[in-house]
């Protein structure tokens, strides 16, 4: 799925349909594969938030690649 990456700068809250399934790349370089769009944190918080903790999951989303929808 990850062949068509789109950069993400935090604009619109959810750039794809809620049930879209795809991959997200985090600032740390970690790629989360096969995630459902509504289950990841798209916002860019102004202060540290557990869901964007660099030590737990690699930080904020910087790119995404989504195709299909969850069943």
Q: Tens-digit pLDDT profile for the chain (71 aa)?
A: 556 899 988 776 788 999 999 999 988 888 999 999 988 878 765 555 555 555 555 578 889 999 765 55
Examine residue 1 and state whether it is found in any structural domain, yes or no. Answer: no
Query: How many domains, in total, are found in the chain?
Result: 1
Helix (H) or strand (E) holding 35: strand 31-36
pLDDT for residue 55: 54
Q: Which residues lie closer than 8 Å to 52 by C-beta, 6 or more apart?
A: 41, 45, 59, 60
Examine residue 16 and state whether it is found in any structural domain, yes or no. Answer: yes
Enter the pTM of the model.
0.71
Examine residue 59 and state whether it is found in any structural domain, yes or no. Answer: yes
pLDDT for residue 24: 92
Tell me which residue range forms the domain holding 54: 6-69
């Amino acid at each position: 799925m990850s062949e068509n990456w789109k950069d993400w700068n935090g604009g619109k809250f959810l750039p794809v349909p809620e049930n879209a399934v795809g991959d997200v790349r985090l600032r740390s370089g970690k790629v989360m594969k096969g995630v459902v769009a509504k289950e990841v944190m798209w916002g860019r918080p102004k202060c540290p938030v557990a869901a964007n903790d660099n030590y737990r999951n690699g930080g904020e989303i910087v790119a995404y690649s989504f195709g299909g929808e969850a069943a």
